[in-house]
Structure 1
């Protein structure tokens, strides 16, 4: 991360996942990174979207060690106990809709509220969230996947709105929604992820490289792993 200050500090939220873990490993190997903290359900402090109070508590704990120059939220849910991607309207159910929005939008919204203030006020800082191209309303040509599409579209709007507010107090900050592509992971495994996905290390490298190129004027944007801007 050459664009960040020397001895920058980094936070990976969702570091137990495939992409989050790969990002954490690559940042740990960067000699310019002076401190790296990876949070997840079993970390100390813990970060668990099913327990919203842990989000604020983790931010309070880490605020004393900041500022944090790079914060990446690498969480997401496509399938789970409540179901998987819906092909038809008739497949919709309230439990899966609520679970999708909790993981993909509500939890991330609280992360934005509590962690964005940890970015430096007078230095370059980056806060990125993992979104998905299927969350693009303008690019939706196939339909289906209602809960996942809608919750990621909500995440994009939350990120965009937060970027406008944060620019007033953190003028050098960059907030970005990222599309990682198909990556070999537990999320993609039921959908031929092992056959068509890229290794998490490759995805992590591409995402970090994309973040390195973004400037404050790009804040609030939606970007693919290859640096291409995506439509809302």
Structure 2
């Protein structure tokens, strides 16, 4: 595939496309005839079976750990052999619980190893992605770089406490988006960078915490993806560096 042959079609990169919201984005983008190529990354083969079973020729998959910058750089280099432009970059990677790791209910549950894991996946991995993908957003077309954040990462909205590592790592992610958006205004002026709160979505990440969620507040993956794409498609350059909820409302930092 060459830029010349598909110059009228858009290209997309979904990081964390192996399952959950990321996989939903892959499916929705492939259903769009205006998308000429979808690149998707996944961390583990065993959790990405549905992604790897998709037979659409427009899909290209890469195994990648977002906490390893060398792996991110290698994926970007492979994409650059096909195209010099991305129109959508969607980062859906995140960790809330993993094995014995559970969100902390109080200070007595804090430990440094768990905090480091939260920041490595939810914050540091994202900024490494923003760094490496920058050359593919230096073009004249409107583009979106969106990362899945969480309303619990809002400092201004925090009324109940708890979940120290997850909250703090998402707050750090929001700062990385804000900071990168300021620099991108100079280097990638047509790129719109946003943090997005998806709402509670029926995925493995939220599964242990769904008991007290009203049925009308627990979204299917397809509904979440549709809502977030609608938000993204309605954004302008002046919205870059902001934090939006699934319904398009702005969230406080």
What TM-score range do you get, normalising by the shorter chain?
Answer: over 0.9
1:109 matched to which residue of 2?
A: 127
Greater RCO, 1 or 2 (C-alpha within 8 Å, sep 6+): 1
1:17·1:75 contact (CA, 8 Å) conserved in 2? no
2:42 matched to which residue of 1?
A: 40
Q: 2:71 aligns with which of 39, 48, 54?
A: 54
Larger of the two Rg values belongs to structure? 2
Q: Equivalents in 2 of 1:87, 1:111: separation in Å?
A: 30
Relative to structure 2, which stretch is displaced further, 140-149 or 44-53?
Answer: 44-53
2:250 matched to which residue of 1?
A: 229
2:115·2:165 contact (CA, 8 Å) conserved in 1? yes
Deviation at 1:146, TM superposition (A): 0.2
Q: Equivalents in 2 of 1:119, 1:10: separation in Å?
A: 11
Aligned length: 228
1:223·1:229 contact (CA, 8 Å) conserved in 2? yes
Q: Equivalents in 1 of 2:226, 2:129: separation in Å?
A: 23
Deviation at 1:82, TM superposition (A): 4.8
1:20·1:74 contact (CA, 8 Å) conserved in 2? yes
TM-score, length basis structure 2 = 0.86
Corresponding residue SS for 1:10: strand
Corresponding residue SS for 1:45: strand
Gaps in structure 1 of 5+ consecutive residues: none
Deviation at 1:119, TM superposition (A): 1.4
- Counterparts in 2 of 1:135-154, with a 5 A limit? 135-154=153-172
Q: Equivalents in 1 of 2:152, 2:135: separation in Å?
A: 29
Kindly report the root-mean-square deviation, in angstroms, between the aligned alpha carbons of the 2 structures. 1.6
TM-score, length basis structure 1 = 0.93
